[in-house]
């Protein structure tokens, strides 16, 4: 695969494999990999759980929105985004304008299984399995709204998911700044 000429942004619920898939896709294509949460933590000088503890979710979301906006001046990269980045409408608009958005789907049960105790993920901490499922259900239409490409990760290895992402990107009609059939469909529903 040749280096990408625009950003590819991976979105999806916690535990959907965004970081691993983005990292491998970047390696295969010789494109830079960016983990947005790592950028947020580096800019804050604190871990994600510390930011949540000290500034609350809204403080974290402000930092997340700023980090996302900062991508506009970055060279093309494969970007792993945090699972809640779509909560703000401005972020959904920004994602759509930045590049191709790949939605990695995972079930709530699989997310809980993959993430374990959730201690590194404040949004999973103290949530029952039912509450995790409710959070995913709340977010699912937003992931679908911005997705140019959707890949179901259930029962698939990172390599298998990256194979599918590569094939989908090769077919994708969506380019930065242009509406795609998937976005049109969702917006018209
Ligand atoms: C969050 C997901 C996390 C991180 C933060 C909030 C969320 O990223 O951004 O803990 O709201 O779903 P991952 O999806 O990479 O775990």
Distance (angstroms) between ligand 1 centre and the Cα of 123 equals: 7
Q: Which pLDDT belongs to residue 184?
A: 38
Tens digits of pLDDT across the chain (189 residues): 777 889 999 999 999 999 999 999 999 999 999 999 999 999 999 999 999 999 999 999 999 999 999 999 999 999 999 999 999 999 999 999 999 999 999 999 999 999 987 678 999 988 899 999 999 999 999 999 999 999 999 999 999 999 999 999 998 754 444 444 444 333 333
Ligand 1 pocket, 18 CB below 6 A?
A: yes
Beta bridge partners of 9: 79, 101
Distance (angstroms) between ligand 1 centre and the Cα of 82 equals: 4
Q: Which pLDDT belongs to residue 172?
A: 74
Among 82, 104, 125, name the best residue to mutate to test ligand 1's pocket (greatest count of ligand atoms within 8 A of Cβ): 82
Q: Which pLDDT belongs to residue 171?
A: 86
Residues sharing a CB contact under 8 Å with residue 23, sequence separation 6 or more, in sequence order: 33, 78, 80
Ligand 1 pocket, 63 CB below 6 A?
A: no
Q: Which pLDDT belongs to residue 174?
A: 46
Q: Which pLDDT belongs to residue 118?
A: 65
Q: What is the pTM of this model?
A: 0.90
Distance (angstroms) between ligand 1 centre and the Cα of 59 equals: 14
Q: Which pLDDT belongs to residue 4?
A: 80
Q: Which pLDDT belongs to residue 161?
A: 98
Distance of alpha carbon 146 from alpha carbon 126, whole angstroms: 29
What DSSP string describes 107-171?
A: -HHHHHHHHTT-TT-TTTTT--HHHHHHHHHHHHHHHHHH-SEEEE-TT--HHHHHHHHHHHHHH
Ligand 1 pocket, 17 CB below 6 A?
A: no
CA-18 nearest atom, ligand 1: 15
């Amino acid at each position: 695969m040749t280096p990408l000429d625009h950003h590819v942004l991976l979105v999806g619920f916690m535990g959907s494999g965004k970081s691993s898939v983005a990292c491998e896709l970047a390696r295969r294509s010789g494109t830079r990999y960016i983990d947005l949460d790592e950028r947020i933590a580096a800019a804050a000088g604190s871990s994600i759980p510390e930011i949540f503890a000290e500034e609350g979710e809204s403080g974290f979301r402000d930092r997340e929105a700023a980090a996302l906006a900062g991508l506009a001046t970055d060279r093309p990269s494969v970007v792993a985004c945090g699972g809640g980045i779509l909560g703000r409408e401005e972020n959904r608009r920004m994602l759509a304008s930045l590049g191709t958005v790949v939605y990695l789907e995972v079930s709530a049960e699989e997310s809980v299984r993959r993430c374990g105790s959730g201690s590194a993920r404040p949004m999973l901490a103290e949530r029952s399995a039912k509450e995790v499922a409710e959070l995913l259900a709340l977010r699912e239409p937003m992931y679908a709204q911005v997705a140019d490409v959707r890949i179901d990760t259930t029962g698939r290895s990172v390599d298998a998911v990256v194979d599918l992402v590569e094939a989908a990107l090769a077919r994708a009609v969506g380019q930065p700044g242009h509406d795609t059939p998937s976005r049109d469909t969702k917006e018209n529903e």
